[in-house]
A = this chain, B = another copy of it.
Amino acid sequence: MIYRRKVFFYETDAQGIVHHSNYPRYFEEARGFYLEQIGHPYEKIREEYNIDIVLVSLSVQYRKPLFFGDTFEIHFSIPKMDRFRFSFRYTVKKDGETVAVGETEHVCLDRKSRKIVSIPEVLRI
């Protein structure tokens, strides 16, 4: 699945490139897009299942910068999912070239108790 958008000016820094802290945000956007595409937008899941999806680890390798005006694509997949834990893998591309890769790992928490709960069936793949 591919998520596509343009860099916003406020995401750049004084090096003239997208500040690295925006990539975790782009990844979050890609996950939101994925949940929408499969018919279970995160805002609905949060309410229906009373869960928060939380991030437990993050890694990013930055190969080339993104600049203001660039359009980028995030190609992503879900390399791992067991009952309690799943991960996303991201490849950020610009003009067909990989500019960054990343991975995040997640668990679901009950919003009241803040305890880990199993991943809702509707999200299992």
Contact = CB atoms under 8 A, between A and B. Distances in A.
Interface of A: 6, 8-10, 12-17, 19-22, 24-25, 28-29, 32, 41-44, 46, 52, 54-63, 65, 67-69
A9 B61 contact: no
Contact of A68 (B8, B10, B14): B14
A79 B105 CA distance: 25
Contacts of A29: 8
Interface of chain A: mostly helix, strand, loop or mixed: mixed
Given A25-B21, A57-B60, A60-B58, A13 B12 contact: yes
A57 B68 contact: no
Contact of A61 (B42, B44, B57, B62): B57
B58 A9 contact: no
Nearest to A70: B43
Given A9-B13, A56-B63, 20 more contacts: A8-B25, A8-B28, A9-B14, A9-B42, A10-B21, A10-B25, A12-B13, A13-B13, A14-B17, A14-B68, A15-B52, A21-B22, A42-B68, A42-B69, A44-B69, A54-B62, A54-B65, A57-B59, A58-B58, A59-B60
